[in-house]
C-alpha cells in the first residue's frame, strides 16, 4: 500500500525474500550513524553476516519501504519500541523515513500502547534532529543494551519518546 504522504513509496510487511536487501540497508545505515559513536567491541561484531542473521530473526516485526519494487528502507517494531529504522542513502530526504516512522507509530498504537520509545546513539545528530522534527521528545541519556556475542554491550544513547494518543 502506498505511504499516505509519499505515493512513490510502498510500505508492506517484510518477507523472508527481503532479508538480503534489509540486511544491506541496515548495515550501511548502521555504519553511517554508529561508527565513532559506539564501543569498538560492538563494531567488531556487526559484520555483514550479523546483519543478515538479525534481519532474518526480525522479519515478522519488520515493515519495508519499496520504490519500484526495491527495498529502500525498513522499520522494526517490538512491543512499544521502534527498534530499528533505516533508509538507503540514496533515498534519504525523500520522505521514506517519515513514512516508515509513521507506520512504526501506528504499529505501537495498534498493540495497545499510548507511548512509543526509541534509542538514538548519542553522537548521531542527524537522526536526533529527524526524530525531533517528527515530534519525538528526548528524555535524556541512558545505556542501551545492544546485542553482543557474549551478552549486552552498553551503548550511550538518547531515549526518545512520543505520546501516541488513543489506543
Percent of the chain at pLDDT above 70?
Answer: 95
Domain enclosing residue 85, as ranges: 2-163
CATH number at residue 48: 3.40.630.30
Q: With H, G, I as helix, E, B as strand and everything else as coil, classify residue 14.
A: coil
φ, ψ of residue 8 in degrees (nearest 5): -80, -20
For the chain, where are the alpha helices, taking DSSP H only?
19-34, 40-45, 48-57, 96-110, 125-133
pLDDT (mean) for 140-166: 91
pLDDT digits (tens, 9 = 90+) for 32-75: 998 899 988 899 899 999 999 999 999 999 999 999 999 999 99
pLDDT (mean) for 72-96: 94
Q: How many domains are contained in the chain?
A: 1
Task: Tell if the pTM clears 0.75, that is, is over it.
Answer: yes
Pick the closest to residue 140 from 116, 119, 113 (CA basis): 119
Does 2 have pLDDT greater than 70? no
Amino acid at each position: 500500500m502506498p505511504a499516505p504522504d509519499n505515493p512513490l513509496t510502498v510500505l508492506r510487511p517484510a518477507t523472508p525474500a527481503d532479508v538480503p536487501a534489509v540486511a544491506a540497508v541496515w548495515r550501511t545505515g548502521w555504519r553511517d550513524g554508529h561508527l565513532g559513536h559506539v564501543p569498538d567491541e560492538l563494531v567488531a561484531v556487526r559484520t555483514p553476516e550479523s546483519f543478515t542473521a538479525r534481519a532474518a530473526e526480525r522479519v515478522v516485526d519488520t515493515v519495508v519501504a519499496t520504490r519500484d519494487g526495491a527495498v529502500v528502507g525498513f522499520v522494526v517494531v517490538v512491543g512499544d519500541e521502534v527498534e530499528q529504522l533505516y533508509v538507503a542513502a540514496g533515498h534519504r530526504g525523500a520522505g521514506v523515513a517519515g513514512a516508515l516512522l509513521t507506520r512504526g507509530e501506528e504499529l505501537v498504537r495498534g498493540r495497545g500502547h499510548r507511548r512509543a520509545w526509541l534509542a538514538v546513539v548519542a553522537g548521531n545528530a542527524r537522526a536526533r534532529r529527524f526524530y525531533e522534527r517528527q515530534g519525538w521528545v528526548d528524555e535524556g541519556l541512558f545505556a542501551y543494551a545492544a546485542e553482543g556475542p557474549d551478552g549486552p554491550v552498553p551503548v550511550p544513547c538518547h531515549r526518545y519518546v512520543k505520546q501516541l494518543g488513543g489506543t
